[in-house]
Amino acid sequence: MSWTSVWLLLAILSTLVFVVFAVSLGRHAVIIGRTARRFREEVVPLTDELSRDGAAISDRAQGLRARREPRRSQDPGVR
């Protein structure tokens, strides 16, 4: 076997290995993309609901605070 055929065989094998890795990487990228989309579809409604609940709680707390503030201002001993 001549050195040229050895180098040709190594080049072919390394090219095949590279192609297999590239295809595998592409496959995993597609899987991760699908998983990220599914995660977003499941999580976004929950975060929207939590955001609405947080805003409602904040509004309610401001309303309660507004009701308490006049009482504090009437009593000069309370700071």
Task: Please tell me the pTM assigned to this model.
Answer: 0.54
pLDDT at residue 8, as a whole number: 96
Residues shown for the chain: 79
Q: Per the structure block, which two tokens stand in for 8? A: 């040709």
pLDDT in tens, 38-71: 999 999 999 999 999 999 999 888 888 888 765 5
SS3 56: helix
**DSSP per-residue letters across 22-50:** HHHHHHHHHHHHHHHHHHHHHHHHHHHHH
